[in-house]
Amino acid sequence: MKVSFIEPQLGVFGGIRRVLEYSNRLTERGYDVTIYHSDGEKPTWMPCLADTRPIAQALEDEHDVLIFNDPLPGDYWTARRARAKAKVYFTLELFHMNLLRGFSLLLFHPKATYTRTLFLRKAFRGHFVLWVNASWEKEWLKKHLGLESDLLLGGVNFDLFHPVEVKRNPDEFRVLISGDHRQRKGTSEVLAALEQVREKIPGLVIESYHGKGYPQEKMAEVYCRADLFVDGQWQAGWNNPVVEAMACGTPVVCTDIGGVQDFATHEKTALLTPIKDADAMAQAILRMAHDSELREQLRSNALEQISTFQWNLAVDHMEAQLKKVLANPVYPPRGIKEQAVDVIEDILFGFVRPLYRGLRKLKRSRGKKNS
């Protein structure tokens, strides 16, 4: 079976890790797997056993099952136009959920997340079999859009993420954060919470790893030298950093979002706090810092919970889904209404988006003249 993935690039991102883990194991099982992306080169940060080709080649090749997961215009139209026996949209995240349910001219704003939301809406209108990578996404699509989807939970690469022995300074309490400065990652709230507790935790050391270029094989050491991992994301399809920290045996404080629902349970495997609430997060950090028994209990429970996320089992499930969609692909309903909305959005995309850009240029031009 020829299984093809369309990706915008193969950089260091959680969604790309997921695709590489799936594609490597499918290749090992004898599938003909190709990843089509921007330049067609192999990634350097993680092994890639699948063939890789420039995305334009996807339109020349034929596919049994074609999968894409990032609703950017180029990827969407390539997936639509490519020749495949079955096509799948694999939902890794839901953007601007209020706009998925309603309508706003913001859908045509040049900002990437609005563009992704627009093309996510289009992907849900009958062109693709729908897969999701987290329970909360499946529930949300059914409840709010009436859409059925198949759940494919991922796994953890335990060769990379596992407890390791590290030297620790007994006079320090080391807190690890991702440090990703994208607003939705919640780093500003995490730093605000840590600032609140700085004087209340003797020897507090804050470490981040985002953008530091740590090799993947060194990340377990980075996680394990921390006494606590803190994550403040506002939204995520599946929260990879929390999964990785748990797999390494590092206690976790994180935000209570859908992206942790499948593995993080408050007071059992982690302490969960509301999003954008630095005060609540500060209290959770203090509690963990001053209660070693709690840290050990949550750590032990999390290790047991996360051990069930085996990649071989995840690929077993994907194999079954691949055979299912190839034999009988079931697409969401696509009636006259869905077709009409598609046409209207295409027209507005061609007119409103350039208008947004023109207004932005005009505003910048006026700003320069006034300065």
How far is 137 from 159, CA to CA, in rounded Å?
Answer: 28
Give the list of residues 6+ apart from residue 339 with CB closer than 8 angstroms, or none: none
How far is 61 from 47, CA to CA, in rounded Å?
Answer: 24
**Which pLDDT tens digit goes with each residue over 319-348?**
999 999 999 999 998 899 899 999 999 999
pLDDT value at residue 367: 65
Q: How confident is the model at residue 359 (pLDDT cuts 50, 70, 90)?
A: confident
Under DSSP, the state recorded for 42 is P
How far is 292 from 145, CA to CA, in rounded Å?
Answer: 44
| Residue 87, beta-bridge partner list | 66
**Which pLDDT tens digit goes with each residue over 238-265?**
999 999 999 999 999 999 999 999 999 9
How far, rounded to the nearest angstrom, does the alpha carbon of residue 193 sit from its chain's CA centroid? 24
Torsion 331-332-334-338 (CA) sign = negative
The closest alpha carbon to 353, from 71, 118, 100, belongs to 118
pLDDT at 126 over 90: no
The closest alpha carbon to 19, from 56, 50, 40, belongs to 50
Q: How confident is the model at residue 203 (pLDDT cuts 50, 70, 90)?
A: very high
pLDDT at 354 over 90: no
**Which pLDDT tens digit goes with each residue over 165-189?**
999 899 999 999 999 999 999 999 9
Phi, psi of 322 (to 5 degrees): -60, -45
How far is 191 from 177, CA to CA, in rounded Å?
Answer: 9
How far is 344 from 335, CA to CA, in rounded Å?
Answer: 15
- Cβ atoms of 176 and 223 closer than 8 Å: yes
| Residue 150, beta-bridge partner list | 131
**Which pLDDT tens digit goes with each residue over 291-300?**
999 999 999 9
Find the helix packing angle between 292-306 and 278-289, rounded to 10°.
Answer: 100
Segment among 91-95, 124-128, 226-230, 349-353 with least mean pLDDT: 349-353
Q: How confident is the model at residue 368 (pLDDT cuts 50, 70, 90)?
A: low
- Cβ atoms of 7 and 34 closer than 8 Å: no
The three-state secondary structure class of 32 is strand
Q: How confident is the model at residue 370 (pLDDT cuts 50, 70, 90)?
A: low
Structure tokens at 150: 């198949």
Find the helix packing angle between 112-123 and 336-370, rounded to 10°.
Answer: 170
pLDDT at 353 over 90: no
Give the list of residues 6+ apart from residue 153 with CB closer than 8 angstroms, or none: 133, 134, 135, 262, 309, 314, 317
pLDDT at 363 over 90: no
- Cβ atoms of 288 and 251 closer than 8 Å: yes
Average pLDDT across the chain, whole number? 95
How far is 288 from 253, CA to CA, in rounded Å?
Answer: 8
**Which pLDDT tens digit goes with each residue over 36-93?**
999 999 999 999 999 999 999 999 999 999 999 999 999 999 999 999 999 999 999 9
Percent of the residues in the chain that have a pLDDT greater than 90, as a whole number: 89
pLDDT value at residue 362: 74
Beta-carbon count within 10 A of 56 CB: 12
Under DSSP, the state recorded for 270 is B
Beta-carbon count within 10 A of 207 CB: 13
For the chain, domains (ranges, CATH) are: 2-155+315-365 (3.40.50.2000), 173-308 (3.40.50.2000)
Mean pLDDT value across residues 22-45: 97
How far is 294 from 101, CA to CA, in rounded Å?
Answer: 41
How far is 361 from 165, CA to CA, in rounded Å?
Answer: 54
